[in-house]
Amino acid sequence: ILLAFQVRLVMKAHSFIRENVPRVLSSVKDKSSTVPIPRISQYLYFLFAPTLIYRDNYPRNPTIRWGYVATKFAQVLGSLFYAYYIFVRLCIPQFRNSSQETFNLRGLVLCIFNSILPGVLILFLVFFAFLHCWLNAFAEMMRFADRMFYK
């Protein structure tokens, strides 16, 4: 989690520098009186916005739909509880049974193959909970309106 967070911050810093350095250099080259330096509030909004491309201004919704936010957080909780249920019902019994037997390669391979499908389902649930529900909830709370930005 920490590594993913650091990678996100490095990508955002790269985007911020890539967008602002050419503007500053061109204004210095033209010897203009004002240098277009972004405000701290713009940078802070960019750090928390669910985008990796820096702009000075993003389209914003006029209001926050709190019902939508509550629905997305409920979906996150539902996904986590469902992943927990799958883990407890399908994964733990496989490894609990294997720990009581003597070690053999056949039992290990069967245990791993029986855990592949629940593991993939848990992976999909975690991706859905974070990438769709969590990020959309925070985008709504920040009034970030550019949901189709990457299309």
What are the pLDDT digits (tens) for 29-66? 877 777 778 889 999 989 888 888 898 888 888 999 99
For the chain, domain boundaries? 1-58, 59-150
Helix, strand, coil percentages (3-state) for the chain, rounded to 5, are 70, 0, 25
In this predicted model, which residue has the larger pLDDT, 141 or 29?
A: 141
Residues near 133 by beta carbon (within 8 Å), at least 6 away in sequence:
72, 73, 75, 76, 79
The whole model's pTM is what? 0.73
CA nearest to 111, candidates 88, 97, 96, 94: 94
The reported pLDDT for the residue numbered 147 is 67
Provide the CB-side half-sphere exposure for 86 (13 A, CA).
19
